[in-house]
Amino acid sequence: MIINHGVRGSTPNPSQNYLFFGGNTPCVEIKTQKYQLIFDCGSGFSKVNFSNDLETILFISHFHHDHIQGLAFNNYDTKISKKITLTSAHSDKTNTFKHLSTYYSNPYFPVNFIEIINKFDFLDFEQVVNNFEDLNISSIDLNHPGNCSGYSITSNKKKFCYLLDNEYEDVQEKKLIDFCDNSETIIWDGMFLDSELSDKKGWGHSSIEQGITLADKIDVKNFLISHHSPSRDDQEIKILEKTISNNKVKFASENEVIEF
């Protein structure tokens, strides 16, 4: 089961006409028989309920604020008795700890973050790959200012890919197709439209149309365009949705549950 807790890019937008697709920044949760896997902790992370029965792993794509701003705002059910594994292919465990501690420190954050960070076991990405072999985890370097890591997980022969914060370039095509072909579900960064890209060169995001073109070239069951622009309201997304002819491609919406 896949739950989209946040599908908005860059900054939350809780305005009335953004609530159909949702205003929270990125967080995706996957539950398998053994694992609870969480990708990024934007503001949607507050809705994650930690499981005591499943092994929980939090993957961070990169440290831009919209992907980590929710980490301190989960109520972390006090009954939770285990440590949560936290990892990032973007940085080793020492730097991951450093980046998060810096973000959640004076003068940017008022509360001592150590209590929250103590709930986590920081591991290098390679350690996670080796420790959880049955998950078949891999990462891909994406094109984004300061870099970003995409992830793929294969569980019970079903593949899930998380590809947010990537500025698509033609030279990436083969690498991306190899990485995400034969997927059950792919989450794609469709922050912009092709018509907006010329003004946004170097901002590190792809277009909706680039996603549709990629989806046409691969075998995928659900291709979900996410990281919606914080200025694209529900009506605009619904109009865009009607123009998509590939029925595997949809706009991600918050709280939707997808079979996995």
Contact residues for Zn ion (CB under 5 A)?
Answer: 9, 64, 66, 165
Question: In angstroms, what is the minimal distance from the CB of 216 to Zn ion?
Answer: 25
Closer residue to Zn ion in complex, CB, 29/66: 66
Instruction: Label residue 255 left, alpha or beta by phi (over 0 means left) and psi (-120 to 50 means alpha).
Output: left
Longest Cα separation, the chain: 50
Question: How many whole angstroms separate alpha carbon 21 and alpha carbon 208?
Answer: 15
In our burial notation (b when 16+ CB lie closer than 10 A, e otherwise), range 155-165 reads: beebbbbbbbb
Choice between 6 and 9, CB closer to Zn ion: 9
At closest approach, how far in Å is the CB of 113 from Zn ion? 21
Cβ proximity to Zn ion, 165 vs 167, nearer residue: 165
Whole-number Å distance between alpha carbons of 53 and 247: 36
Instruction: State which residue has the least CB distance to Zn ion.
Output: 64
Q: In terms of DSSP bridges, do strands 27-31 and 2-6 run parallel, antiparallel, or are they unpaired? A: antiparallel
Give the distance, in angstroms, between the CA of residue 17 and the centroid of all CA atoms in the same chain.
Answer: 23
Minimum distance from residue 205 beta carbon to Zn ion (Å): 8
Nearer to Zn ion by C-beta: 165 or 209?
165
Smallest distance from the beta carbon of 67 to Zn ion, in angstroms? Answer: 6
Q: Cβ closer to Zn ion: 64 or 159?
A: 64
CA distance 104 to 72: 8
At closest approach, how far in Å is the CB of 81 from Zn ion?
32
